[in-house]
Amino acid sequence: MTTTKTAIITGASSGIGQATAKELASKGITVMLAARREERLKELQEDIEQNGGKAFYQVTDVTNVEEMEQLAKKTKEECGRIDILVNNAGLMPLSMINKRKIKEWDQMVDVNIKGVLYGIAAVLPYMEEQKSGHIINISSVAGHKVMPGSSVYSGTKYAVRAITEGLRQEMNASHNIRTTIISPGAVATELTETITDDDVLEAFKKQEMKPLDSENIAKSISYAVEQPEHVDVNEIIVRPTQQG
């Protein structure tokens, strides 16, 4: 008997997370949708189920460790196992350091780094017991290169890559747990709406390139997921062709 795989996707209420949920569900994977905006999660669940997929949702703030533990517990209860975690929730309020947007720095550290760690902590006990699992963390091209305005955001995305690589070394061989870093370039989503620094917004407006669609990143995630169990795709970088 083949068992259906289960994936938890954080930040599933928009952009890359939403597209990934649809993509994985279309491949027969049961998806557990997590984010803070319930209405959007509910709509997505309905959409997936109307298209023949299976989806659950749980309103979750990734910065809250108890809510993340509850998300994993509910997934285990509803689906019987946790095969995949896509740590996708993120914020990108880019700004110049001398603007001293300390509250935005705190939010980025909380969501982009601590949220990823809480996700890992929540699912690891289940994956260790299963002796299998796949943790996919969304970093960025900004996790490979720093630009004016991206210092703190890049710091969080470099951290995501470091954490994922450490996790790989500790858990790959001993527990059969795969790790994948996805590093997208510019993707057309709501992510830039959190930018409040006028200088950064001005620079963004001058950029002329066709960005990626969320579906392009969802396909990369799906590629990593679909490999046989002995194949671990450690990192994928996907840039728009015209991105420098």
Closest separation in Å from C-beta 222 to ligand NDP: 15
Contact mark string toward ligand NDP, 176..195, x via CB under 6 A: --------x-xx-xxx----
Closest among 123, 223, 224, 112 to 178, alpha carbons compared: 224
Helices (H), the chain: 15-26, 38-50, 65-79, 102-108, 115-130, 151-175, 198-206, 214-226
Q: How far is the CB of 230 from ligand NDP (least distance, A)?
A: 28
- Binding to ligand NDP (CB under 6 A) within 126-165 occurs at 138, 140
Considering the rule CB under 6 A, would residue 10 count as an interface residue with ligand NDP? yes
Q: Is 36 in the site for ligand NDP (CB under 6 A)?
A: yes
Give the tokens for residue 99.
């603007």
The set of catalytic residues is 153
* φ, ψ for residue 148, nearest 5 deg: -55, 130
3-class secondary-structure state, position 188: coil
Closer residue to ligand NDP, CB minimum distance, 111 or 124: 111
CA distances from 174 to 224, 229, 230 (A): 20, 14, 13
| Rounded least distance, CB 158 to ligand NDP, Å | 12
Single residue of 43, 47, 54, 63 touching ligand NDP by CB under 6 A = 63
Q: Quick one: 241 exposed, middle or buried, by C-beta within 10 A (0-12, 13-18, 19+)?
A: exposed
The C-alpha atoms of residue 68 and residue 72 are separated, in whole angstroms, by: 6
Q: Which stretch binds ligand NDP (CB under 6 A): 14-22, 117-125, 196-204, 228-236?
A: 14-22
Beta carbon nearer to ligand NDP, 13 or 180:
13
Residues in contact with ligand NDP by the rule CB under 6 A: 10-11, 13-17, 35-37, 60-63, 88-92, 111, 138, 140, 184, 186-187, 189-191
